[in-house]
Chain A
Amino acid sequence: AQSVSQHNHHVILSEAASLELGCNYSYGGTVNLFWYVQYPGQHLQLLLKYFSGDPLVKGIKGFEAEFIKSKFSFNLRKPSVQWSDTAEYFCAVNAPGNDMRFGAGTRLTVKP
């Protein structure tokens, strides 16, 4: 079964700083990759997803992620964070025919 690792437990940034959150997965076959965000007190929302094609995926709110197959990675990036980006970010992997697995999550705190 696939597994997902998120390297950073808690990231603290100042507004306008650039963001990169790491995500690695372990599965040798075709996978679908997702980033979800959970704002304080709110439900999980889909930020972006990768199924196939261009490995650079653009999502909502200025986020993007790059799928690097050789590194089994799907890192999330944003060039300039805002205070409103403060949230928990979950990477998730879904191998066809298998269940979705979530990483442990990265808590992002953006200082105004």
Chain B
Amino acid sequence: DTEVTQTPKHLVMGMTNKKSLKCEQHMGHRAMYWYKQKAKKPPELMFVYSYEKLSINESVPSRFSPECPNSSLLNLHLHALQPEDSALYLCASSQRWGAPVSTDTQYFGPGTRLTVL
């Protein structure tokens, strides 16, 4: 099973709302990722969690707050977003991250399409 699930599929929120995106995998992977993908663009890495610890924050604004409550779950808390934050938010997982010799493949979820009004 190489499935990564994400909820919700679609989310519309106002700039003053607080919402959360959820991601789950049961492959025993210890690395999880959040990416942002704008239309007709490649995914851009936002955060990397390795063994439930935040390892990479690609200078993402603080209105995005990741959380990894356990090895299977990854959340992205959203607060005071801007219309330009509208995008497809992808979660991915892999066995490990950052190993000196890594042969890990990242498996992607279907994404949450976020619209900020």
Contact present for A43 and B42 (CB under 8 Å)? no
Query: Which of A45, A97, A105 has a CB less than 8 Å from the CB of B41?
Result: A105
**C-beta contact mask, B65-78 vs A, less than 8 Å → 1, else 0?**
00000000000000
Contact present for A90 and B42 (CB under 8 Å)? yes
- Tally the A-B contacts, defined by beta carbons under 8 Å: 49
With CB as the reference atom, state the residue of chain B lying closest to A44. Answer: B108
In chain A, residues 50-85, which have Cβ atoms closer than 8 Å to a Cβ of chain B? 51-52
Contact present for A32 and B103 (CB under 8 Å)? yes
Chain B contact residues: helix, strand, loop or mixed: loop
B90, CB-defined interface residue at 8 Å: yes
- Evaluate whether A99 and B56 lie within 8 angstroms (CB atoms) in the complex, with A43-B108, A44-B108, A105-B40 already known: yes
Query: Which of B103, B105, B109 has a CB less than 8 Å from the CB of A46?
Result: B105
Contact present for B42 and A49 (CB under 8 Å)? no
- Evaluate whether A99 and B48 lie within 8 angstroms (CB atoms) in the complex, with A43-B111, A46-B107 already known: yes
With CB as the reference atom, state the residue of chain B lying closest to A52. Answer: B103
In the complex, A45 Cα to B108 Cα: how many Å?
7
Residues in chain B within 8 A of chain A (CB atoms): 40-43, 45, 48, 56, 90, 98-111
Residues in chain A within 8 A of chain B (CB atoms): 30, 32, 34, 36, 42-46, 49, 51-52, 88, 90, 94, 96-97, 99-100, 102-105, 107
For this complex, 28 residue pairs linking A to B, each with C-beta atoms less than 8 Å apart, are A30-B101, A32-B103, A36-B108, A42-B110, A43-B90, A43-B108, A43-B111, A44-B90, A44-B108, A45-B108, A46-B107, A88-B40, A94-B104, A96-B99, A96-B100, A96-B101, A96-B102, A97-B98, A97-B99, A99-B45, A99-B48, A100-B45, A100-B106, A103-B42, A104-B42, A105-B40, A105-B41, A105-B42
